[in-house]
Amino acid sequence: MTISFIDLKAQQEQIKPQIEAAIARVLAHGKYILGPEVSELEAQLAEFCGARFALTCASGTDALLLALMAKGIGPGDAVFVPSFTFVATAEVVVLLNATPVFVDVDVDTFLMDVQSLKAAVETAGKQGLTPKAVIPVDLFGQPADYVQIQEIADTFELIVVGDAAQSFGATRAGKRVGTLAPITATSFYPPKPLGCYGDGGAAFTDDETVIDLLRSLRVHGQGSNKYDNVRIGINGRMDTMQAAILLEKLSIFEDEIAARQRVADRYNDALADIAQTPVVAAGSSSVWAQYTIRLKNRAHVAAQLKESGVPTAIYYPIPLHHQAAYQGFPTAPGGLPVSEQLAGEVLSLPMHPYLNEKTQEAIIEALKSICLTPIKKRNT
């Protein structure tokens, strides 16, 4: 039996004829850029999450970049980001010549630590920066604590841009991702919970001024027409082909979210005694972009699992404030001990909606036999 970490083939088999027909329709009408599927997808994405507006774009990174551009982030501005995240969260800040300030995360949920955020905002001002925005990250599929973060944002007049690249479809306090922050960015990179067959992303907002700016920025800062350029923008459009594929994938996404939860539940039940299993905040749901456990002896367990044919991954082995390109930027006072600890302990297990019980049982058995043996030895 070969075990996939993420099985995109199994998903394709569910909807292969529909995907082929959707691609054929695009080839027939030939509107490869901003064709009808793009606006149809934007309408369906907005409806899916309950946001007033959705704007598709070329990637999750572009969605974040466009959001910051729409808010005029630039030199001298401090933008608060977690260190324990994918590099794009901080990269877009640097691309706009603003300063990322790294904030620690909570040891249980892996989400931005609001105390660390507050302390970082208070010290940024003393370092001559203007605290301007915060990018909470919905790491591994569950939404950040937007209620508490918004309170801090209100106090210090920060703009909140949600990095929901891993969490589209998840909820917090009964609201879906896309409506939890004034602007939300997501990604449709293939292995994300909702992925296309290439790069893609989207931004969500209820604010009409913001959506107008995003639309203009996505196409070179255009004004009333293509050759009227009123601001500096980018070429950040999603291809019609990707939109057509995503429309078909969106039609089975609710079922896939439920299937992901069943897989997570089975892991939770089986692994609670042998590893630190993921913690989802009360009142939240996760779409399980990753199922990530914590282990003190990670290197040993990962190597043994590999030998048993179980693929694993480490998200993320080096926190951003230790990366060569980012180590010069400020961090929250007191440092980022949790981000550093997690980087040494986390291990992500195979997770996708089509992980069947038999395969999952094999993964669990392999993990149990590796973890239980040394622990028992140590105790006697």
Strand (E) or helix (H) holding 342: helix 337-345
CB of 94 to ligand PLP, least distance (A): 14
CB of 138 to ligand PLP, least distance (A): 8
- How many residues interact with ligand PLP (rule CB under 6 A)? 15
Stretch that binds ligand PLP, among 23-31, 83-91, 273-281, 295-303 (CB under 6 A): 83-91
Q: How far is Cα 331 from Cα 81, in angstroms, rounded to an integer?
A: 10
Identify residues 192-251 at the interface with ligand PLP (CB under 6 A). Answer: 199, 201
Query: Are 202 and 186 within 8 A, CB to CB?
Result: yes
Q: How far is Cα 62 from Cα 186, in angstroms, rounded to an integer?
A: 10
Residues paired with residue 346 on neighbouring β-strands, in sequence order: 294
Q: For the chain, give the number of residues.
A: 380
Query: Are 252 and 15 within 8 A, CB to CB?
Result: yes
Tell me which DSSP letter residue 11 carries.
Answer: H
Among the listed residues 60, 162, 178, 182, the single contact to ligand PLP using CB under 6 A:
60
CB of 141 to ligand PLP, least distance (A): 10
CB of 329 to ligand PLP, least distance (A): 17
The token duo for 149 is: 């973060």
Among the listed residues 109, 166, 284, 312, the single contact to ligand PLP using CB under 6 A:
166
Tell me which DSSP letter residue 162 carries.
Answer: E
CB of 273 to ligand PLP, least distance (A): 30
The residue (of 64 and 124) whose beta carbon lies closer to ligand PLP is 64
Strand (E) or helix (H) holding 250: helix 240-250
> Which residue has its beta carbon closest to ligand PLP?
60
Residues paired with residue 100 on neighbouring β-strands, in sequence order: 79
Closest CA to 105 of 127, 136, 134: 136
Q: Within 10 Å of residue 259's Cβ, how many Cβ atoms?
A: 16
Query: Are 92 and 137 within 8 A, CB to CB?
Result: no
- Does 171 help bind ligand PLP (rule: CB under 6 A)? no
Q: How far is CA 129 from CA 106, 115, 169, 179, 329, in A?
A: 25, 19, 35, 29, 12
The residue (of 137 and 250) whose beta carbon lies closer to ligand PLP is 137
The residue (of 69 and 271) whose beta carbon lies closer to ligand PLP is 69
The token duo for 134 is: 């915060």
Among the listed residues 22, 66, 114, 137, the single contact to ligand PLP using CB under 6 A:
137
The contact pattern for ligand PLP, residues 86-125, with x = CB under 6 A and - = no contact, is x-xx------------------------------------
Among the listed residues 123, 187, 205, 240, the single contact to ligand PLP using CB under 6 A:
187
CB of 290 to ligand PLP, least distance (A): 9
Q: Are strands 159-163 and 130-134 parallel, antiparallel or unpaired?
A: parallel
Query: Are 68 and 133 within 8 A, CB to CB?
Result: yes
Q: How far is Cα 285 from Cα 274, in angstroms, rounded to an integer?
A: 23
CB of 166 to ligand PLP, least distance (A): 5
CB of 218 to ligand PLP, least distance (A): 14
CB of 227 to ligand PLP, least distance (A): 29
Among the listed residues 11, 56, 83, 85, the single contact to ligand PLP using CB under 6 A:
85
Which parts of this chain interact with ligand PLP (CB under 6 A)? 59-61, 85-86, 88-89, 137, 163, 165-166, 187, 189, 199, 201
